[in-house]
Amino acid sequence: MGATYPFEHLGTLRNLDPNDPCTKHTLTASLTLHRNTATHHKMTTNKEERPVQPSLFFQSHNEKGAETILLIHGACGSSKEWDKVIPHLTDQNYHVLAPDLPMHGQSVSIKPFNLNTATSAILHIISAHAKNGTVHLVGLSLGAHIGACIAERAVPGQISSAILSGYNTLSPPKMLMPLIMPSIFMLHHTVQMLTEFPTEMRHLRTGQSSYGLIYEVIRTLCEPRPLGKIPVRTLVVAAQKDSLLQKDSLDSAKKLFAAVDGGKEGGSRVVLHRGILHAWHMFEPVLFGEMVVQWVGGKDVSSDFEDIE
Looking at residue 176, its pLDDT comes to 65
Q: Stretch 233-238: mean pLDDT, rounded?
A: 98
What domains does the chain contain, in order, with CATH numbers?
A: 21-169+226-307 (3.40.50.1820)
| Whole-structure pTM value | 0.78
Looking at residue 21, its pLDDT comes to 35
Residue 46 or 283, more confident: 283
Looking at residue 284, its pLDDT comes to 97
Looking at residue 191, its pLDDT comes to 62
Residues paired with 230 in a beta bridge: 260
Confidence of residue 120 (pLDDT cuts 50, 70, 90): very high
Q: Is the pLDDT assigned to residue 128 strictly greater than 50?
A: yes
Looking at residue 202, its pLDDT comes to 66
Residues paired with 35 in a beta bridge: 38
Confidence of residue 43 (pLDDT cuts 50, 70, 90): very low
Is residue 171 classed exposed, middle or buried when 0-12, 13-18 and 19+ CB atoms within 10 A define those classes? exposed
Which stretch of 39-53, 142-156, 221-235 has the lowest confidence by average pLDDT? 39-53
Is residue 135 classed exposed, middle or buried when 0-12, 13-18 and 19+ CB atoms within 10 A define those classes? buried
C-alpha dist (Å) from residue 306 to 36, 68, 115, 273, 295: 39, 27, 30, 6, 15
Q: Is the pLDDT assigned to residue 32 strictly greater than 50?
A: no
C-alpha dihedral, 63 to 149 to 104 to 254, nearest 10°: -110
Q: What string of DSSP letters covers 147-216?
A: HHHHHHHSPTTSEEEEEEE--------GGGHHHHHHHHHHHHHHHHHHH-HHHHHHHHHHTTT-HHHHHH
